[in-house]
Structure 1
Amino acid sequence: MTERLILLTLFGLTVVAAWAASRWWLSLRVQRLQRVDAPPELDALGLAPTQPAILYFTTTTCGICRLQQAPALRQVTQRLSGRVSVHQLDAVAAESLARYYGVLTVPTTVVLDHQRRPLHVNHGLAPANQLMQQLAAIEWSSPALPGATISTGA
């Protein structure tokens, strides 16, 4: 009985260590992306240089994207009254951008500051309050613009 308890404890610690290591690796990846130039594919999206943006990677078959992530993103744009733009990208069609940001699953959201540096990469569902907290850390470089924008890209 004691051996089983020890094995179960070791297994639990291994799972926690693996989770912590993956989170650490993902944070290092975002830090590396902040130090390099933005990919040229971002120019085609028409990101405003004075406001932060969210890149929203999805696919046509992603149910959680349509049912939960898209409404959360609409809620964020409504709350921020045009101070952030959301760009929806098909992860398959925009493969180079998906690879650049390390998209492992859909939905994935990438929070960019006004200089196009990634501040957060959210793999999986990112609720509106989480996105709001991530955007709150950005220094807004311009006053609120009329109307938030949500665009669908390639």
Structure 2
Amino acid sequence: KAGDQRAYTQLVRLVIIDEIHLLHDKRGPVLEAIVARTIRQIETTQEHVRLVGLSATLPNYEDCAIFLRVNPQKGLFYFGPQYRPVQLEQTYIGVTDKKAIKRFNTMNEVCYEKLMENAGKNQVLIFVHSRKETAKTACALRDLAMQNDTLAK
């Protein structure tokens, strides 16, 4: 870099962090370091950089705002379920199996039952913890549908 050229990081004026809830993920420390470095740069240079954190599944958005140094009265925007054009129905079901494989199978069986209750009537979204678990769950649901001859529903 030439002596009078600014570093690329100093040219940034907007940082959008999609899926900010991943701060709690195994990749969280990397994301946290990037945010901390950006905040330090803002505080050091006094130049304005807008930080935007997005998440559809962040219950502790106020804590996240504090971490991002957001003034809750001026810069924190929370769009709750009342902003949705179609209300969501959420179902929570407790699974108490102790063994991981049994718990996984029970959760998939319950998901399958809920899918069949809504098949052809409503859209269904299933949240899992990782990409790997997404693939495993999809395969398990497919297998259950094939086993019960309901794949076409």
TM-score of the two chains, using structure 1 as the length reference: 0.25
- Structure with more strand by fraction: 1
Structure with higher Rg: it is 2
Q: Which has the higher contact order (CA 8 A, sep 6+)?
A: 1
